[in-house]
Amino acid sequence: MRGHLIQPFVAHVFRLDTTATVVAGVDDRFRKPKLARPLGPDQPAQTTRRELAVLELQCQVEVGERGRRQQGPSGNVPDDRLVLVFHMRELEEKGLVDSSGSPKINVGDRLGAIYKTDGTMVKTYPNPPGLYATKVSDEAFGLGRSRNLVIVTWDDRPQGLTAAP
C-alpha cells in the first residue's frame, strides 16, 4: 500500500540536459551555462542551458513562500518558493527512477507551469527568472515501508548579469 496524492495537480517539469549544455558551452571558472549577448536592448541575455522535453507529472502542491521581498543593493528582490510532492509510483511508471532507486528529478531542473488535472492552467513560471529545483528529497516512506513520495523544493534565481561582456 503506497497511498496517493491529495488534491493532485499537474506540473510541467523541464529536466536539465547536462550533456547538451556542456556541448553548447559551460563557463570553465563558474561551471554554469555561458551567457551570450542579448538579441535586443530590452532582451535578457541568452543562455547555453539545454533542457529535455517537458514532463507532465501529477503532484501535490504545498504552500510555500510567495512574493516575499528582500532588500538588495538596487531595490527589492523577489523571492518565491514552492514545494511539490510527486508520487514515486508515477515516476517509476514513466522511467524516471534510476538503477539505485533515486528519482531522475534533480537539483537544477526547471518548473514551467502548474495545471489542474482537467488541463486548466493555474500558474506559469516564465523563464527567466524561472523556478528551479533546489532540493530533492525521496526519503518519505509509505505505509508499506517503501519510498512513496518525492518532495521537491523550487526556488527562483535572482537575475544578475544581463549581457555578456
The secondary structure of 2-44 as a DSSP string is ----SS-EEEEEE-B-HHHHHHH-B-TTT-SB-EE--SSTTSP
Range list of β-strands (E), 15-164: 35-36, 46-47, 55-62, 68-72, 75-79, 81-87, 110-115, 121-124, 131-141, 147-156
Provide the residue ranges of all domains of the chain, joining segments of one domain with +: 9-14+54-156
* Average confidence (pLDDT) over 155-160: 67
Question: How do residues 89-133 score in pLDDT, each as one tens digit?
Answer: 999 999 999 998 899 999 989 999 999 999 999 999 988 778 999
Residue showing cell 500500500 = 1
Question: How do residues 46-100 score in pLDDT, each as one tens digit?
Answer: 666 767 889 999 999 987 655 555 555 655 555 578 999 999 999 999 999 999 8
SS3 of residue 123 by DSSP: strand
* Average confidence (pLDDT) over 150-165: 67
Residue showing cell 554554469 = 32
